[in-house]
Structure formats: structure tokens, C-alpha cells
Amino acid sequence: MKVTGTGLIVSNIGAVLLGLAVAVTLGLGIRWLWPAVALPVFLTVLLCWGLSATSMILRDRGNRDIEPMGWSDAAEQTALISANSRAHFLDYLLDKIVALFSGIVIASFIAGLVGLFLPGIRWTVFIIIVALWAAVGVGVIINDYKKG
């Protein structure tokens, strides 16, 4: 389907509003579990949504055809295509930053659930999950770099 410049602008505005709704919903959900991290989770979700949208805009720059993406296309988009191309490298980098920051949201949720039963170890659980998430994420990045 062909999209006009106005259609792309409206689409991007809609994506921003949807991101705001997702961030508010997750922030309120975490606030029920762990009030101290509700604002950081809200801001992290907004940051992740913004970086993901920036990555998508850079990836689709100049492309007016909107088609559904299959699994093979998605795998190709997330792979490190070429270190020589700044656009592909920046797209890859933004996607990996979003993946790493998503660990903060997941760790907050899990630590909040643990905190309902054992409030004293909430921060310990949070730090362990974020550290494990970051270690796995960096491992994936290094593995992708060696492949590409």
C-alpha cells in the first residue's frame, strides 16, 4: 500500500500516542507492585518506545510502501547487516539499546512481584535480574558482531 507524506506523519503521531498509553499503563501497573520505581519504569518505557520508533523511521526512510513483515524479513532487519553502512549500524544499535533497557522494566515487574511476599529483597532481585539481562544482551551483541 502506498502512503503519502501526510499519512506517514499521522502514522508517527499515532505511534507516539500509543507509546504514551503503553508507558502510562505499565507505569500504573508497576506502581501497584512497587511504587518507588513507577516513574523510572514510565520514563524507561517512553525512552524505549522513542528509540524503537526512531529506528523504524530510519529503517523505512524514503520507503512509501507499507507491507506486513514476515518472520524472515524480521530476522533480516534485526541482524547486523553491514558495519560499513551507518544507517544499518545505527538501526542495529538502537534496537539493541531498546532490548537492554527493556530489562529494567521486566526486572521491576519481577522484583515487584517478589516484593509482595519478601519486601526486603526487592532491590537485590532487581539488581540480579538487570545484571543477568545486561550480560546476556552484551553476549548477543558480541555474537552478532563476530558473525557480521
Q: Which residue segment(s) compose the domain that 56 sits in?
A: 5-147
Q: Mean pLDDT throughout 136-144?
A: 88
Q: Which residues of 99-131 are buried (b: 16+ CB within 10 A; e: fewer)?
A: bbbbbbbebbbbbbebbeeeeeebeebbeebbe
Q: What span, in angstroms and rounded, lies between the C-alpha atoms of 77 and 14?
A: 23
Number of domains in the chain: 1
Single-letter amino acid code for the residue at 30: I
Cell 530489562 belongs to which residue?
103
- For position 15, what pLDDT does the model report? 84
Q: What span, in angstroms and rounded, lies between the C-alpha atoms of 23 and 144?
A: 30
- For position 71, what pLDDT does the model report? 64
Q: 55: how many CB neighbours lie within 10 A of its CB?
A: 20
pLDDT in tens, 40-94: 999 999 999 998 888 877 777 766 665 655 666 655 655 545 444 555 777 788 8
